[in-house]
Amino acid sequence: MKNVLLIIFLAFSNCLFSQSKIDSLENLLPNKQGLDKVELLNELAFSYWNISPDKGLDYAKKAYSIAEKEDSKTDIAASLQTIGINYWAKGELHLALENYQKSLNIYEKINDLSKICSLNSNIGIVYKDLSDYENALKHYLISLNISEKNGFTSLYISIVSNISSIYLIQKKLS
């Protein structure tokens, strides 16, 4: 019984912490303009992906609109990635993939290796969810190679785990 109460308490406190962070970010929003507003909108959109992806999508699309007006390639790419995350959370995998790919193309043009690595991993997750294990592995391996060469340790660990899950799925299917 104590363990159940502890788990409930931890889950509840985590929700309260998340909501208070979101509330703090939303309170800052009226005071922000331009690219500062884009950054804050994307942070809010990311904060909502697992709570309310529709709201997250709304914030991400607002960020994208401002980033386009400001003609900031980095912020456009970040907004597209956040749009993709929220579409993925909604289960709209083809829209997630479309936005991730647009974001990846921009990050490749500006050679942001960390974001290229992250997006290839995200794309791999979507392909895994679509049961397209060949494309999932292709993107995971690209991401693994970049993370290994550039010392992106936390991404590397996550990618190895994702690759392992693909191999386990394929073993069960054969």
Q: Rounded to the nearest 5°, which phi and psi values hold at 32? A: -105, 145
pLDDT in the model for residue 70? 96
Q: Which domain holds residue 145?
A: 112-174
- What string of pLDDT tens digits covers the 174 residues of the chain? 544 443 444 344 444 446 667 877 777 677 889 999 999 999 999 999 999 999 999 999 999 999 999 999 999 999 999 999 999 999 999 999 999 999 999 999 999 999 999 999 999 999 999 999 999 999 999 999 999 999 999 889 999 999 999 988 888 766
| Residue 166 included in any domain | yes
**Angle at the Cα of 29 from the Cα atoms of 27 and 33, rounded to 5 degrees:** 150
| Residue 116 included in any domain | yes
pLDDT in the model for residue 174? 63
pLDDT in the model for residue 77? 98
CB 80 within 8 A of CB 106: yes
| Residue 14 included in any domain | no
| Residue 93 included in any domain | yes
What count of residues does the chain have? 174
Ordered alpha helix ranges (H), 71-132: 73-90, 93-110, 113-129
b vs e for 108-140, b when ≥16 Cβ sit within 10 Å of the residue's Cβ?
eeeebeebbbbbbbbbbbbbbeeeebeebbebb
Packing angle, helices 93-110 and 73-90, rounded to 10: 160
Report how many domains make up the chain.
Answer: 2
pLDDT in the model for residue 18? 62
pLDDT in the model for residue 12? 44
pLDDT in the model for residue 17? 43
pLDDT in the model for residue 161? 92
**Same domain? 123 vs 91:** no
- CATH number of domain containing 57: 1.25.40.10
**Same domain? 37 vs 77:** yes
